[in-house]
Structure 1
Amino acid sequence: IRILKPIKHFTAKNADEVYNQIQSIRWEDYLDVNKTFAIDAVVFSDEFRHSKFVSYKVKDAIVDYFREKTGKRPSVRLSNPDVLLNIHIAQTTCTLSLDSSGESLHRRGYRQEAVEAPLNEVLAAGMILMTGWRGECDLIDPMCGSGTIPIEAALIAKNIAPGVFRKGFAFEKWVDFDADMFDEIYNDDSQEREFEHKIYGYDNNPKANEIAIHNVKAAGVSKDVVLKLQPFQQFEQPKEKSIIITNPPYGERISTSDLLGLYQMIGERLKHAFVDNEAWVLSYREECFDQIGLKASQKIPLFNGPLECEFRKYEIFDGKYKEFKSQEGDFRPRREGDFKPRREGGDFKDRKPRGDFRGGRDSRAPREFKGNREPRIPKQEAE
C-alpha cells in the first residue's frame, strides 16, 4: 500500500546513535529550508519502545543539520508535507526511506462515498486476481455494497493502471522528480484492452446502490458494470458463463438480524441458481460457512483488516462431479497448489492488479491536475 525508497541503512543501539546517523546524511539532496516534512516511524525493538520518540530524534537531527548550515530550518507539517520520511527500526537495524506514495495506495481515487465497513480496494483486487479471473466471462457480486469488487474487476478486465485517478503521489514533490517522464507514463494507455463481457453488482440497500452508482461513474466503468437494486433471494441463473465473487456481512462490523439465515440463503441460491459456475465467498465465521451447505474446493486465509477471514471457492454443478469437470470451458481459474498464500502479511506474489484513476472515464470530468498535466483522452474519442 506504499512504496518506500531507502536512503540509508544503519545500526543504532540508542537514540543518540540514531540522531548522529540521520544528521550525517546530505539533506540538501532531499530537502531545503522552504519545504515541509513529516516522519512516520515503525519500531519493533527492545531498545526503542516509543515510535514517537524516534520520530522526534529524526526530526531534531534534520532540523539541526539545516540550522547549523544555513541558520534556518524546515518546518514539520503532519498533513500533506512536501517530503514524507519513514524510519523503520527492527531491534537495532534501522532504515530511513523516502515515502514515494503519500496517501496509502489503496485509496484509488474513485470512492466518492462508502457504506459501513467497506472492503479495502487492494483486498478486493487481490481477491479477484486470486480466482484467476481476468475478464474471460461475466462477473457477479450479489451483495456489492458501494461497488468495490465490481469496480476493481472492471479495472482488471480493462487493464487500467492503478493510480490513474489519484490526485497525486508524494514523489511528485521530490527534488529529482521528472515531470515530463511522469506525464509520458501517465498518458500511456497502450496496455489497456477491451472487455467483451459484463460485471453485475446487486444489493438490497437503496443507499448502497446509490453510492455504488456514484463510485462506478467516478471510476469511468459505467459501460462495463451493471448495478441493480435486488436482494440475493431474487438471484436467478445467469444466461452466460459467470463467476461470483462476494463479501457478505460477517456480523462483526455490519449487524444483521439473521446472520446464519443469510448464509443459508446464499447456499440455497448458489445450488439452485448458479449451476455450472464458480462462486468465491469471503467470510469470517466458520458457522457462517457451515450454513452455506456446500463443500469448498479451495480455502485461502485472508486478513480483512484485523479479522483473519477465509476466501472459499465453491464449484456448483448439477449431477456428477466428474461430468461437471469435463464440461468446463476455457475459463479455468487457479487450482489448489497453483497459489500459495502467506497467512501473515498478505504478501501475495501474483500478478499485480491494474486499476486506479484520476478522473471519470465516462464523464471525462478532469481532476485538479498539478502543473500542466491534462486528463487523458480515451482511445475511442482519440480515434
Structure 2
Amino acid sequence: MSANRRDQPFYMTATTQFGLEEVLAQELRALGAKVEKVGLRAIEFTGNQQLLYEACLWCRTAMRILRPFASFHAPDEKTLYREVGRLDWSKYLRQDQTFAITAVVNKSNLEHSLFVAQLTKDAIVDQFRNRTGERPNVDVRNPDIRLHLHMIENEVVLSLDASGESLHKRGYRQQTNVAPLNEALAAGLLLLAGWDGKTTLVDPMCGSGTLLTEAALIAQRIAPGLYHQGKFGFENWADFDAVLWETVQMDARQMRLEEPQCYLGGSDLSRDFIELARENVAAADVEDFIRLGVRDVKDAVAPARAAPGIVIMNPPYGERIGEETEMDDLYKTIGDTLKTNFQGYDAYIFTGNLQAAKRVGLKASRRIPLYNGPIDCRLLKYELYRGTRKVAKEGEEGGE
C-alpha cells in the first residue's frame, strides 16, 4: 500500500525569480517532472514523492517547492475563516508542532496579506483548541510546518512548503558583508548562458566567488540541496518517508564527479574578496576545481592551455551618486579586456547599469531581462570573434 501511495503523482509548484522560469522548467523536466504550466516566477508540475524530494535536492534555480492541498473561493473574511476551518488540519499539523503562514494576495476583496495570514492562523488554532483543548504555536522564524496561502481574485490556494529555508540559501556561503548574487540567480545565469559544465569558464571580477562555486556544483554534478541548513520542510510532514529520503540523498552523493570536468578560474582586484571566495569555495568542498587569483580586470587573460569557453561577470553597478564616470571607465576597460584577451570566447555581463554597459563597445547578441533583488538588470551576451567579425564574414563569403 505505502509503495503504491508513494508512486501516486500529485500537483506541485516551484517558485523562482523573474526570468529564470524556463530554466527551472527544464531542470524539473530533467528530473522527470511533467511540467503543466510555466507561469510568472512559478512552475506548476506533477510528480511523485520521490520527485518532490529530488526537486528540493537538485533544483539550482528554485526558491521553494510547494505542495497545494486545498482551494476555495473566499470573497470576504467570514468565508475565508469558515473555509479554512472546514479543512481537517490534523492531516497537516500536529498540536506539538510549530507553524507559520506566508500569504500573497492579489486583486482580491481582502487586500492585506498580513490580515489574511492572521485570520487563517486563527481558524487553524481555533479548530485545534475546540477539538483537543490545546493548540499548535506559531514560530515565524523557524517553524516545523510552513504554509503558503495564495489568493488571487478571491480564489485561495493553500500549500505546504517542502523547502523549509529558501532553497537558494545553499549554506556554503560564509559570513559576508558584501552584496553577492544569490545562489539561485548565479546558477540561473550560468544555465541561461547555455553553459554545459564541460567548457572553460572564467570570471575576471569574481567577488566572493558565487558564480564560480555554482559553476563547480554544475560541472561536478553536485546537488545544491546537500548544503541545505537544517531540515527540509517535508521532513516534518505526516507522510514523510525517511527511507526514501535517505535513498535520494545517497543517490545524489554518488552522482558527484571527483575528476575536474573543465577549467574554472576567477580573479578579483580585491585581496579581501579573493580570501572570502576561498572560504566559500572550501566550505562547498570544491577548492580542487577552481583557480583563484588577485588581479585587476584590465590584466585578466584567458587561460593558456584551455580551449575558449565562456567569460562571465557581474561587475559593480555604481548605485551611489557621483560614480557615473568611474563606472563608464570600468565598463570601457571590461570591453577592452574582452576584445583583446578573450577572442573566441562568448562573454556574458550581468549588470544593473545599462548606461555604463554601453561603454563596453561591443554589440550584444542577446539581452535577457532579470532582476538582482529590486534592481532591473540584463544578462548581455557578446560573441568575441577571432579578429573582427567583418574579416570572418568576408572569409566565409569568399571575400566579396
Q: Smaller-chain TM-score range?
A: 0.7 to 0.9
For residues 393 and 315 of structure 2, the distance between their equivalents in structure 1, rounded to whole angstroms, comes to 27
Moved more, 132-141 or 254-263: 254-263
Task: Select 1:75's aligned residue among 137, 141, 146.
Answer: 137
AA of the residue aligned to 2:249: Y
What is the CA–CA distance in structure 1 between the aligned matches of 2:311 and 2:262, rounded to whole Å?
A: 14
- Specify the alignment match of 1:192 in structure 2: 256
TM-score of the superposed pair, with normalisation by structure 2: 0.78
- Would the alpha carbon gap of residues 178 and 325 (structure 1) be closer, same or farther in structure 2, given more than 3 Å must change? farther
Determine the C-alpha separation between the residues in 1 that align with 2:116 and 2:72.
Answer: 14
**Correspondent of 1:48 among 93, 105, 110:** 110
Q: Any conservation in 1 of the 2:167–2:228 contact (CA below 8 Å)?
A: no
Corresponding residue number in structure 2 for 1:250: 317
State the alpha-carbon separation in 2 of the partners of residues 40 and 196 from structure 1. 41
For residues 108 and 72 of structure 1, the distance between their equivalents in structure 2, rounded to whole angstroms, comes to 36
Mapping for residues 272-283 of structure 1, pairs under 5 Å = 272-283=340-351
Shift of residue 10 of structure 1? Answer: 0.5
**C-alpha separation between the residues in 2 aligned to 1:26 and 1:161?**
35
1:204 alignment counterpart: 269
| Residues 25, 326 of structure 1: alpha-carbon distance in 2 compared, 3 angstrom cutoff | farther
Higher relative contact order, structure no. (Cα contacts within 8 Å, ≥ 6 residues apart): 1
Alpha-carbon shift at residue 298 of structure 1 (Å): 1.5
Query: Residue type of the partner of 1:87?
Result: L
Which is further off, 177-186 or 233-242?
233-242
- Classify 1:67/1:42 alpha carbon distance in 2 versus 1 (closer, same or farther; 3 Å): same
> Secondary structure in 1 aligned to 2:124?
helix
Give the direction of change, closer, same or farther, for the CA distance of 1:255–1:25 in structure 2 (3 Å limit).
farther
Instruction: Provide the C-alpha distance between the structure 2 equivalents of 1:253 and 1:18, rounded to a whole number of angstroms.
Output: 46
Q: Is the 8 A contact 1:238 1:274 kept in 2?
A: no
Structure 2 gap ranges (5+): 1-62, 396-400
For residues 209-253 of structure 1, give each alpha carbon's deviation from its aligned partner in whole angstroms, at most 9, with x where no partner exists: 111111000111101111111111211243222311110001127
In structure 1, the partner of 2:227 is: 165
In 2: Cα distance, 1:320 partner to 1:144 partner: 28
Quick check: 111-120 or 219-228, which moved more?
111-120
Tell me the distance in 2 between the aligned counterparts of 1:286 and 1:81.
Answer: 41
Deviation of residue 153 (structure 1)? 0.5
CA distance in 2, matches of 1:326, 1:131: 28
Aligned partner of 1:181 in structure 2 is 244
Q: Which residue of 2 aligns with 1:360?
A: none
Partner of 1:349: none
Q: Which shows bigger deviation, 253-262 or 210-219?
A: 253-262
Within 2, Cα distance between the matches of 1:104 and 1:203? 29
Matched residue of 1:150: which SS?
helix
- Contact 2:68/2:157 (8 A) holds in 1: yes
Inter-CA distance 233–254: structure 2 relative to 1 (3 Å threshold) = farther
Q: 1:34-183 to 2 correspondence within 5 Å?
A: 34-167=96-229, 168-183=231-246
Superposition deviation, residue 306 in structure 1? 1.5
Q: Determine helix, strand or coil for the equivalent of 1:94.
A: strand
Count of matched residue positions in the alignment of Structure 1 and Structure 2 = 327
Moved over 4 A (4+): 253-257, 322-327
Instruction: Tell whether 2:331 aligns with 1:263.
Output: yes
* Secondary structure at 2:293 match in 1: strand
- Contact kept in structure 2, 1:113 and 1:215, CA below 8 Å: no
CA 1:254–1:190 in 2, change beyond 3 Å: closer, same or farther? farther
| Matched position secondary structure for 2:121 | helix
The 10-residue stretch of structure 1 (311-320 or 30-39) with the greater mean CA deviation from structure 2: 311-320
C-alpha distance in 1 between matches for 2:263 and 2:322: 31
1:113–1:146: 8 Å Cα contact kept in structure 2? no
Distance 2:276 2:201 in 1: 20
Does residue 295 of the first structure (1) align with residue 363 of the second (2)? yes
Q: Aligned pair in 2 of structure 1 residues 8, 255: CA closer, same or farther (>3 Å)?
A: farther
Alignment check: 8 A CA contact 2:75 2:109 kept: yes
How far did 1:190 drift? 4.0
Equivalent-residue separation in structure 1 for 2:223 and 2:238 (angstroms): 25
Mapped pair 1:286 → 2:346? no
1:81 is matched by which residue type in structure 2?
A: P
CA distance in 2, matches of 1:126, 1:143: 18
Match of 1:223 among 279, 288, 298: 288
Q: For residue 27 of structure 1, report the CA deviation from its aligned partner.
A: 1.2
TM-aligned CA distance change 1:253 to 1:101, over 3 Å? farther
Structure number with the higher helix fraction is 2
Displacement of 1:282 in angstroms is 0.8
* Deviation larger for 99-108 or 186-195: 186-195
Which of 282, 305, 311 aligns to 2:373? It is 305
Identity %: 44
Shift of 1:314: 1.0
Decide whether aligned partners of structure 1 residues 18 and 116 sit closer, same or farther in structure 2, where only a CA change above 3 A counts: same
SS for the counterpart of 2:273 is helix
